[in-house]
Structure 1
């Protein structure tokens, strides 16, 4: 199995958190395609024993998987890595504080313990500023531990809930399952931001975690248009996302009419693109004007859908 290390580093063994993560992802994939045998099986067993057990079932599992990926990256970070600027002018420690801030709105909404200072407002930017100020007085290890403990409390409190239960962290009322998919997507994107700056290679989520996230992103399209001041009216698009975890959806551009798996219903336009690129574009990574996609039918409508897609993305 390939491991990509920093230039000049020795390739680590299973004690390295990122290597263990890669092995764990391989294990999850092979549990679907066929169990590993011999030396590979023994190596995977040893690697898993060195990590906290991951949440692998239910609607919380996609978020849990990306938290595990970020935690593996943080576990491998050097003291200098924690002071690197990652995104939005934030250091790695401040980025983790931002993730903890947004997670804390979900934690408060479901009655889980909230990390950091008391919530002053149910709003991301204010909470982020408060959490970054709080983290400035902590060690990186404590910031990481507070973020991780809160995320694990979210799993524990959310898992027995009915997935359709509405909650409104940040003033956005959606089912709890969708809010955890939103947390998965942001954690995935910011983990990727950090991995690129730190020169580490992380495995992408397994197919079973990408698919519900892609479905969530497809269902967001009428909302991103509405938030952008665009009336989708009675129009619809067919969205085909390629690659592992992808699929095809019929997406009415009216928030009152939910997107569904594509059944061949008439659509005014069709968009075909890579599933991961699409999810990242909704998360604010990639310019819609140059986004690589195949467009059919009403090309103007398709381009409008793509242009408004990142409307819900934040820092």
Structure 2
């Protein structure tokens, strides 16, 4: 088998999926792939999307040469600094559940402050050390969470949520920054498997009432959006937009309906899209739809 990076990344995506039937040739392909690259950490079902994004990022990093580490990727950060940012945010989730946190002790439980702290620390180390500890911390978090209930409350960065939601937020951010790194390197990146996209999209839909509030919209009770996300991993959500509203899978009464691609919506929520030029079909109250699309990235960070 050749060692083309695109081929390897697609194999990563295959390895995140369910076991193939006995007659499939896929087991032979996966056996060869696993012999060539480090697999995702052992996971329970609800941690698998995070482990998959960690494995995909690690596969992208396998294509990095010495000078690539110093190239600017996003926010003016080098690739090494971007990896320190991911490690910083992962470490805060680890801290909240008692899993190992690598690097200097956490002095502030806040994403950007911890990022600055860890970036300063990692600049004094070799990039391979940064990569090794980022991966080791993420794998340790997956192992630790294997014995933790997904609805366990977790306080991270001032937000108390079920730990599964904090981990899904890490899935989205790792996915987006993996795409940033792959784009800088010129490596095509396959999407996660549909099951992993679906749970990430569900988090994005459930964040919309809070995103509206953070964006300054005081939406009265009763106003809702029908969100139809198309493509593998998509689905239909009924999204009440008042603060405290609970988005649920399925249909319901709504003033407006928004239909768009599931991956593009996830990336919009993650800060990688233009609300003004976002490709969506809208029925009903166009103003309310516009407010939601502009509010969608409100909770995204660097």
- Give the TM interval when normalised to the shorter protein: over 0.9
Match for residue 238 of structure 2?
250
Match for residue 194 of structure 2?
207
| CA 1:109–1:27: 2 relative to 1, 3 Å | closer
* Separation in 1, partners of 2:5, 2:181: 15
Offset at residue 56 of structure 1 (A): 5.4
Match for residue 97 of structure 2?
110
Q: Deviations over 1:172-228 (max 9, x none)?
A: 111100000000000000000010011011211001110000000000000101111
1:153-232 matched pairs, under 5 angstroms: 153-232=140-219
Offset at residue 158 of structure 1 (A): 1.7
Verify the 8 A CA contact 2:90 2:170 in the aligned structure 1: yes
* Separation in 1, partners of 2:288, 2:154: 32
Q: Structure 2: which 5+ residue stretches go unaligned?
A: none
SS at match of 1:240: strand
Q: Structure 1: which 5+ residue stretches go unaligned?
A: 1-11
Match for residue 150 of structure 1?
137
SS at match of 2:107: coil
Verify the 8 A CA contact 1:289 1:307 in the aligned structure 2: yes
Verify the 8 A CA contact 2:12 2:56 in the aligned structure 1: no
* Separation in 2, partners of 1:290, 1:227: 21
| CA 1:107–1:41: 2 relative to 1, 3 Å | closer
Q: Deviations over 1:257-287 (max 9, x none)?
A: 3111123x21011110000000000000011
Match for residue 66 of structure 2?
79
| CA 1:46–1:149: 2 relative to 1, 3 Å | same
SS at match of 1:257: coil
Match for residue 95 of structure 1?
82
Match of 1:279 among 260, 266, 291: 266
* Separation in 1, partners of 2:2, 2:255: 53
Q: Does 1:295 align with 2:282?
A: yes
Match of 1:21 among 9, 14, 19: 9
SS at match of 1:168: strand
RMSD of aligned residue pairs (Cα, Å) = 1.7
How many residue pairs were aligned? Answer: 300
Verify the 8 A CA contact 2:39 2:55 in the aligned structure 1: no
Match for residue 130 of structure 1?
117
Match for residue 3 of structure 1?
none
SS at match of 2:45: coil
* Separation in 2, partners of 1:313, 1:60: 21
Match for residue 7 of structure 1?
none
* Separation in 1, partners of 2:15, 2:216: 45
Q: Does 1:259 align with 2:259?
A: no
Offset at residue 26 of structure 1 (A): 3.0
